[in-house]
Amino acid sequence: MLCVAAAVGAQRAAAEESFVDFLYIDANEDSASGGHVALRLGDRTFHFGHHAPGFLRLDRDDSATFERVYGTLENRNIRILRVPVSPEVHARLRGSFNERFLVESEEFAALENLARDRAFATAWAAGRPDVGVRGADYFGAARTPGARGEPEDVLLRLRRLVLARVGSEALVGMEERARRTLERLAVEAREPIAVLAAEGRHPPLGYGLRQRASDARSMLEALDVLERAAPLREGTWVEIPAEVLPVEGRLRERLAAHAQRIERGLIAAFSSPRRDLGFVVLAGMARLRAIERSLQGGRLVVLDVFPQQAMRISVAEIGRQGGRLPLIAEALAGELVEVGGILEERSLWRESDYGALELLAGRYREIHRAIADGSDVRVLLRAPLPDREARRPIGEIGVLPVDVASRRIEALQARERALSTRLLAQHRYHLLDHNCVSELFAQIERAVAEPGVAPREASRALLGGHVAPHEGLSFIPFVGAASFARELPVVASIEKPSYRRRRVAKMVSEEGMVARLRESNVLTSTIYIPNSLDSSFLFFTDERVATRPLFGVANLLWGVAATAGGLPLAPFDGGQRLASGLRGVLWSLPELAFFNVRKGSFFFVPDESGAGMRQDAPGAS
């Protein structure tokens, strides 16, 4: 149904105002089976998620990724409740959510750092002090006889230019400072550890002994690599066949220009006061080496940006989850070519532009390696960084006396406990009291708060309405969305159907009702691939409400049969079929009462366009 008035009103408003989009994401099995909510503010979408071991934290995705993950791969319907606001209010909301995201990220990083500091102190006390040196793994172990390779021009040139800029005394001075830093650590270890900042204050990132040791060791490593003009270590780079992306013509020129830019940055960096200079220099030198290889060989060579401890997923598991490696490889090759084309046209590359090449090349290699030899596929869940770490001993720091070590480890434990307790108090997840819905409404309240003004009034003044975070049943996602639609001036309610529904609608329009019949079940569907993440079921029940109980009975029987069939197989498949059958029974039960949760999901969906959007009158759902 299309409400023309609403659409026209929305378009008019779009020309004059900004929008806040409240997203209600339909239920499906896996996580968030009760549904989910999020706030879309332009190209960023904010939502609260459950993080181990029991935290409720603000997550941030770019809006296209959010829609792809929830609407396409998780195959959920998304209802968008659109509220017009002034650009100032939009910026205020976005800034508030974003600041919170950054603060939270830093707080949890501080907690992780304390755990690492404690591990470092423990190893030091045991007489085995070592640190991780980011970027060092690309060059192999320093000063190891036989590891020295043939010096290559690019680092010799860099060394000459650095010496010309800062002089050899400066490099000697840097080495001496790094060694002194390491030698002083045993003395500094006797100093008390600062107490945690007062409640409610953003705790500053500490610069603990481990980090100081790591930075100093990185500097020594970087100077050593520069001195030796060390080659890349075998196995630390990724090579893309020239048939996929040849390094020639303009791409070659752009790569050479980017190498010059890295070189200029490195020369300038040698006079920088930054603490982590060693890492920056190692990363830059490794990239220079990779580009050098690309230019020499005519095929793209980039650093392997997957950390050593990257999550891995087996080929068998990808298959069970419905992934088809050749299709994924084809899509990645296409995107590599596209990114190469974009970068050919860009005269000046940013670091993240080159990082995009590293990321895609890494993904491409992972899939092709898996196809070739069945090895596990590594997963990169963060931005690509050339930071493969190597452990390095730091004998310079001497011995840590037992009494000093005990005091330090105890102090670190106390600080870790205090920060953990505070974070749990602030961010503890609770299914009913403190979940993704209540905290989203609470954060909206905070964003529009005015001193001396009641939250309800402040929200009404800026947003035109208010939903209290803990009122009634609004902690339930669909109730919260209904409250939002009722209380705020929603000008458009837009439904974005799930991926499967979009595809079925398109097929029905092209082929007629035969397509609907064919796609109604998992046996004949051409869209859906049964997979291990979904429970055992036969019919899709997310489209037709009237037939839901009937299909639900069929699904229930299918689940029972799968359970019975899975029982004898349990010793052989780890109980997977049994669990799938049991889950099939569970998610069939709501269908008997006209409710749908299960919708199926997808491991991989090629680029799709022309996704149908449906606009309803405000409040319709």
Partner 1 sequence: MNPCRNAIFALIALALTSAGCSFSYSSASISDSIASSSKSVSDSISSSSGGSSASEKAYREDVRDYTARAVKDKRSVEALEAGLPGVAETHGVTDWEADQSTWLGVGEGLRKAKATQEMVDAWGQKLSQGGASRASAARLIQQGYAPDPS
Q: Which is nearer to partner 1, 34 or 549 (CB)?
A: 34
Q: Which is nearer to partner 1, 124 or 368 (CB)?
A: 368
Q: Which is nearer to partner 1, 84 or 559 (CB)?
A: 559
Residue 426 interacts with partner 1 (CB under 8 A): yes or no: no
Element (H, E) at 199: none
Residues 6+ apart with CB under 8 A from 516: 504, 507, 508
Q: Are 358 and 384 in contact (CB under 8 A)?
A: yes
Residue 265 interacts with partner 1 (CB under 8 A): yes or no: yes
Residue 606 interacts with partner 1 (CB under 8 A): yes or no: yes
Q: Which of 604, 614, 616, 620 binds partner 1 (CB under 8 A)?
A: 604
Q: Which of 9, 14, 33, 108 binds partner 1 (CB under 8 A)?
A: 33
Taking CB under 8 A as the binding criterion, the range among 5-13, 246-254, 265-273, 454-462 that sits at the site for partner 1 is 265-273
Residue 311 interacts with partner 1 (CB under 8 A): yes or no: yes
Residue 106 interacts with partner 1 (CB under 8 A): yes or no: yes
Residue 344 interacts with partner 1 (CB under 8 A): yes or no: no
* Three-state SS sequence of 565-594: HHHHHHHHHCCHHHHHHHHHHHHHHHHHCC
Taking CB under 8 A as the binding criterion, the range among 149-157, 381-389, 398-406, 509-517 that sits at the site for partner 1 is 381-389
Residue 461 interacts with partner 1 (CB under 8 A): yes or no: no
- Cα(423)–Cα(55) distance, integer angstroms: 8
Q: Which is nearer to partner 1, 204 or 619 (CB)?
A: 204
Q: Which is nearer to partner 1, 414 or 605 (CB)?
A: 605
- Cα(353)–Cα(340) distance, integer angstroms: 10
DSSP state of 194: P
Cα of first residue to Cα of last residue in the chain, in angstroms, is 11
Q: Are 24 and 78 in contact (CB under 8 A)?
A: yes
Q: How far is the CB of 309 from partner 1 (least distance, A)?
A: 15
Q: Which of 29, 104, 221, 304 binds partner 1 (CB under 8 A)?
A: 29
- Of 8-27, binders to partner 1 (CB under 8 A) are 25
- Of 351-380, binders to partner 1 (CB under 8 A) are 351-353, 355-356, 359-360, 363, 366-367, 377, 379-380
Q: Which of 3, 50, 344, 420 binds partner 1 (CB under 8 A)?
A: 50
- Of 188-247, binders to partner 1 (CB under 8 A) are 201-202, 204-205, 207
Phi, psi at 301, each rounded to 5°: -120, 125
Q: Which is nearer to partner 1, 111 or 620 (CB)?
A: 111
Site string for partner 1, 312-331 (x = CB under 8 A): -x----x--x-x----x--x
Residue 183 interacts with partner 1 (CB under 8 A): yes or no: no
DSSP state of 58: E
Q: How far is the CB of 520 from partner 1 (least distance, A)?
A: 23
Residue 566 interacts with partner 1 (CB under 8 A): yes or no: no
Nearest 5°: the CA angle 586, 587, 590 is 100
DSSP for 349-402 reads: --HHHHHHHHHHHHHHHHHHHHHHH-PPEEE--S------EEEEE-GGG----H
- Of 142-171, binders to partner 1 (CB under 8 A) are none
Q: How far is the CB of 421 from partner 1 (least distance, A)?
A: 21
Burial (CB < 10 A; 0-12, 13-18, 19+), residue 442, is: middle
Q: Which is nearer to partner 1, 129 or 322 (CB)?
A: 322
Element (H, E) at 494: strand 492-496
Burial 201-222 (b: 16+ CB within 10 A, else e): eebeeeebbbbbbbbbbbbbbb
- Of 465-524, binders to partner 1 (CB under 8 A) are none
Scanning the structure block, which residue is given the tokens 């339930």? Answer: 476
Q: How far is the CB of 557 from partner 1 (least distance, A)?
A: 17
